[in-house]
Amino acid sequence: MRFSRPFCFALLPLLASCQVFTDKPAEPVIEQTRMQGELSLNAGQLLFRPCQEQRQFILKEDSAAELSSDASTLFADGHATLYVDMRGQLQANAQKGVDGQFVPSQVYRVQAEGHGCTDINFARTLLRASGHEPDWNIAVSNQGLILNRPGQEPQALPYLEEQLPEGRLNLSSEANGQRLDLWVARQRCVDGMSGAVQHLSAELRLNGEVLRGCAYLGGARND
């Protein structure tokens, strides 16, 4: 069967409209914010106050079960407030006395000791790793890697970084007579001395010696 030319042109708007209605709607983008601040406990609710702010947010319970458990352990040791570094979404909340609620999706660190909001180096830090028995500490920035060990001068070293599957990292350096390899994996890690919880585990191989500890991403690097 053959259609006349005017009839064919009449079908074009219908076909175009069908295309509009059959397209799959775009998924909405949920904005995530990384924030650091102070956790406190009030009437069984965890409250979050960002660093250098007066605003206060409730932590949404069904999204913060693991954080609530870690915080409860640290509060049980007699600490009134904790420092927390986390990523999530700010939402409205009708409860009086608060400015909304925070829904965490990633907790980088929660601790009762340390500099917390007063850490002036946090914004420049890419990664920090540390461990005990014996003590060691590594701070990584765009300028290089600094290795700290008790009784020794801090050593600034150049490094190479290799990104591995599943979010793992390897930082290596051969300088100043040191052979250093730092392996970092996405695994919840608890500091055995302070009780601080960090989102990365770390293994340092230093001149053949294997040392283990925890790590977290600093403010100069997001996951």
* pLDDT, tens digit, 9 for 90 and up, residues 22-34: 555 555 556 899 9
Residue 64 near residue 87 (C-beta atoms within 8 A): no
Q: What is the mean pLDDT of the chain?
A: 87
- Tell me the C-alpha distance between 25 and 203, whole Å: 45
Return the higher-pLDDT residue of 26 and 159. Answer: 159
What DSSP string describes 44-69? TEEEEEETT----EEEPGGG-HHHHH
- Over residues 177-188, the pLDDT tens digits come to 889 999 999 999
- Over residues 35-58, the pLDDT tens digits come to 999 999 998 899 999 999 999 999
Task: Give the residue-averaged pLDDT of 133-137.
Answer: 95
Q: Which long-range contacts (CB under 8 A, 24 or more apart) does 44-50 make?
A: 46/71, 47/98, 48/84, 48/102
Q: What is the pLDDT of residue 184?
A: 98
Q: What is the pLDDT of residue 222?
A: 76
Q: Which of 13-17, 102-106, 155-159, 163-167 shows the lowest per-residue confidence on average (mean pLDDT)?
A: 13-17
Q: What is the pLDDT of residue 29?
A: 59
What DSSP string describes 153-204? --EEE--EEEE-GGG-EEEEEEETTEEEEEEEES--EE-TTT--EESEEEEE
Q: What are the phi and psi torsion angles at 53 (to 5°)?
A: -130, 160
- Tell me the C-alpha distance between 45 and 152, whole Å: 44
Q: What is the pLDDT of residue 67?
A: 92
Percent of the chain scoring above 70 in pLDDT: 86
pTM: 0.84
The domains of the chain, with CATH numbers, are: 33-114 (2.40.50), 123-217 (2.40.128)
